[in-house]
Amino acid sequence: MRTGVYPGTFDPVTLGHMDIIRRGAKLVDRLVIGVTTNPSKNAMFTVDERMAMMKREVADVSGEIHVVGFDSLLMDFAEREGAGMILRGLRGGGDFEYEFQMVGMNQQLNNRIETVFLMADVALQPIASRWVKEIAMFGGDIHKFVPPGVNADVIARVAQIGRKGS
């Protein structure tokens, strides 16, 4: 069984993430979506909230998909899940530089697991979770960037924590 891991913070889940998940699920028998924390990012949602969002959003995606939280080195997580590949999405040149360095480090940690890159759909390439959060915090419309359920989740969270610029 070919298992792939698609890791990320997914704070929040975007249409770009969903594009990579749908396409990536066709490349493996089992896709594990690893929801993690990143201390350098300002999270809007907890890991549990992000996992619940992700489970809801992937419910209609074809294939065997599991949503799992992790707080460890990616390569250790991938090994525990029995993955032979790490799936990563690329939006542009800036992503490539960061991902290129990460692949080099990951290969040093575990060279038995390959990294496979998928280019995001051209229409979705500009979407980034950090921009979605910023737009929402300033009262902008994010429905073009996230699934409808996530749109509602973000709007509710912004209402809870307070909008900037008001």
Active site residue ranges? 17, 41, 91, 129
Tokens of 31: 């896709």
The rounded distance, in Å, linking the Cα atoms of 99 and 83 is: 18
The rounded distance, in Å, linking the Cα atoms of 10 and 7 is: 9
Q: Are 11 and 133 in contact (CB under 8 A)?
A: yes
Tell me whether residue 50 is exposed, middle or buried, using C-beta atoms within 10 angstroms of its C-beta: 0 to 12, 13 to 18, 19 or more: buried
Tokens of 134: 């910023």
What is the chain's Cα-based Rg? 16
The rounded distance, in Å, linking the Cα atoms of 143 and 150 is: 9
